[in-house]
Structure 1
Amino acid sequence: MKNVLITGTSSGIGKETALHFAKNGWNVIATMICLDQGKAIHGIPNISCYLLDVTSSESIESAKAKILADHKTIDVVINNAGIGYRSFVELSDDSKINCIVDINWLGVVKVCRAFIPVFRDQGKGHFINISSIAGLVNLPLGSFYHSTKQAVESFSECMAYELLDFNIKVCTVQFGNAPTSFQGKATNPERYATESYNNLMDKITNLLYGKTKKNKNLKPLITQKLLEIAQNPAKNFKRYTIGFDANLMRILRSVLGYQLFNSLIRRFVLK
């Protein structure tokens, strides 16, 4: 049986991915920031849970030592841990900016840095870094979330060059709004003194909630595709886009270029 390490497995896509891999014969090393939050997967066959905070190098190293004591090899690392933050630049909060950067981007960096030596010593390994369609396109109120996801894209592509000689594969995965609690946690409920900001926040929030509700089948598509990627890794760096919405946005951005795409967003989203 192969071993997959997944970060951020206490809820959402991370939890669903852990369950799907375990169901399909993988040993799942499920990591999370709080073991109490991951009770839904405790005791599931083929799943073992570990405390790991992706923002802390000390926590990562501590978890790594325990994981390697229990598992001789790690075949795949899925960097899934992530948060959202939807705010206006003018009204953004330093602590929330630092938090999203620490988790969404630097968390990926630190976990990869910790496990590259493991993969190198093994002579093989595969990093699957969860990005987002936000890593490929830019949309209203996404200044912070999109920036971190585009950083993951650039980081992953650059890192892939470094690891070619060691048989270590790297890929990124993008998808849209899956029906999880993610959007609710990303939204700032407070009202602003500037009415234009309130109107835009309401418009974008309602649009994203509507998209999320429609994407009922997206979670199984994501977990199945992640399993397929892990089972058949591409030789060279590759981006995988999952779901109709994400693929449509990716194609439109590629075909139209940034100016026409920007006009399309202003016309149909901000009208």
Structure 2
Amino acid sequence: MSKTILITGASSGIGRATAKLFAEKGWNVAATMRSPEEEKELKELPNLRLYTLDVTKKEHLKKILPEVEKDFSSIDVLFNNAGYGAVGAFEKSSEEQVLHQFQVNVFGVMDLTREFIPYFKKRGEGMIINTSSVVGRFTIPLYSLYCSSKWALEGFTEALQFELKQFNIKVKMIEPAAIKTDFHGRSLKVFENDAVKGYNKMEKNILSGMRKRNEKAPGPEVVAKTVFKAATDGSQKLRYPTGKGAGAVLFARKILPTSWFNKLVFKQQSR
């Protein structure tokens, strides 16, 4: 019997690539997104169905599990992938922007996970995979909101693994480095506040550099393969760094004094 994975944020980037790969591997795929009626390619894939899900809407979160279970009988893996980047000098951000960053990247993950835990406990098994980032373990300038949301997700996921192991529910997270997606396109929200001065040069240099590195980065298919490995390797491994340089930068973060590491990060980001 084919296994089933539910993927949030499947309309583009990592979510889309992961949906395609799992379908190719013979899995049943519940690909969720805010506007499935606009999706053309994914709906043609075998064993894949589209569902409406905005992770900030409680009514969507409450009904998605029974909808998918009705179509596929059971769900084996929840892949919490939906997210975006709110970027710019923190001083320019509004309370609403801060809240929305966390509503999508953190609270949406928590709320959907809360729906799935009783379901997986009843089944006697299950797996939860969250999309974090390498910047869930260090920071970069102008990404204070995005980094802090991923740091929160790292802490949540690590603690959850302790809690759910006793129920045979595996908890894992994917930590991508730079990946060539639309993260620096429609998924990037740059703060605009003309009343706040002093950051223009930094924003121009760093955001330009990030876009250039993003263009040279590997595609989301690299991350999709890592998600498939996490879902099928049978291990209790928690973290899966992926993408060019992910392992190296996290190793450097581990062994270098914070002041040294931060100097390297700022130098790299300011090129």
Superposition TM-score tier, normalisation by shorter sequence = over 0.9
Per-residue displacement from partner, 1:107-148 (whole Å, max 9, x unpaired)? 110111001111111111011100011101111011100000
Contact 1:82 1:103 in 2 (8 A): yes
Distance in 1 separating the partners of 2:33 and 2:264: 39
Q: Paired residue for 1:250?
A: 250
How far does residue 24 in structure 1 lie from its aligned partner after superposition?
Answer: 0.9
Distance in 2 separating the partners of 1:194 and 1:81: 30
SS of equivalent residue, structure 2 residue 127: strand
How far does residue 268 in structure 1 lie from its aligned partner after superposition?
Answer: 4.0
Distance in 2 separating the partners of 1:255 and 1:55: 38
TM-score scaled to structure 2, two decimals? Answer: 0.93
Q: Paired residue for 1:207?
A: 209
Per-residue displacement from partner, 1:144-175 (whole Å, max 9, x unpaired)? 00000111110011111111111000011101
| 2:262 alignment partner AA | N
Contact 2:92 2:192 in 1 (8 A): no
Q: Paired residue for 2:266?
A: 266
Q: Paired residue for 2:119?
A: 118
SS of equivalent residue, structure 1 residue 165: helix
Q: Paired residue for 2:163?
A: 162
Contact 1:187 1:205 in 2 (8 A): no
| 2:31 alignment partner AA | A
Q: Which moved more, 1:39-48 or 1:17-26?
A: 39-48
* Cα 1:209–1:8 shift into 2, 3 Å: same
Distance in 2 separating the partners of 1:193 and 1:119: 50
Aligned identity (percent) is: 34
* Cα 1:27–1:254 shift into 2, 3 Å: same
Distance in 1 separating the partners of 2:97 and 2:41: 28
Q: How many residues align?
A: 269
Distance in 2 separating the partners of 1:227 and 1:219: 13
* Cα 1:171–1:100 shift into 2, 3 Å: same
Matches within 5 A, 1:46-85: 46-85=47-86
How far does residue 95 in structure 1 lie from its aligned partner after superposition?
Answer: 2.1
* Cα 1:243–1:25 shift into 2, 3 Å: same
How far does residue 270 in structure 1 lie from its aligned partner after superposition?
Answer: 3.7
Distance in 1 separating the partners of 2:250 and 2:206: 19
* Cα 1:193–1:199 shift into 2, 3 Å: farther
Per-residue displacement from partner, 1:18-42 (whole Å, max 9, x unpaired)? 0111011110011111113433312
SS of equivalent residue, structure 2 residue 9: coil
* Cα 1:100–1:15 shift into 2, 3 Å: same
Matches within 5 A, 1:25-174: 25-174=26-175
Contact 1:19 1:41 in 2 (8 A): yes
Distance in 2 separating the partners of 1:18 and 1:52: 15
Distance in 2 separating the partners of 1:32 and 1:210: 28
Q: Please list every run of 5 or more consecutive structure 1 residues that lacks an aligned counterpart in the other structure.
A: none
Q: Which moved more, 1:80-89 or 1:256-265?
A: 256-265
Contact 2:5 2:30 in 1 (8 A): yes
* Cα 1:266–1:48 shift into 2, 3 Å: closer
Q: Paired residue for 1:181?
A: 182
* Cα 1:191–1:60 shift into 2, 3 Å: closer
Q: Which moved more, 1:112-121 or 1:252-261?
A: 252-261
Q: Paired residue for 1:197?
A: 199
Superposed structure 1 runs of 4+ greater than 3 Å apart: 189-196, 266-271
Distance in 2 separating the partners of 1:220 and 1:11: 11
* Cα 1:233–1:78 shift into 2, 3 Å: farther
Q: Paired residue for 1:8?
A: 9
Q: Please list every run of 5 or more consecutive structure 2 residues that lacks an aligned counterpart in the other structure.
A: none
* Cα 1:196–1:83 shift into 2, 3 Å: same
Q: Paired residue for 2:241?
A: 241
Q: CA RMSD in A?
A: 1.8
How far does residue 225 in structure 1 lie from its aligned partner after superposition?
Answer: 1.4
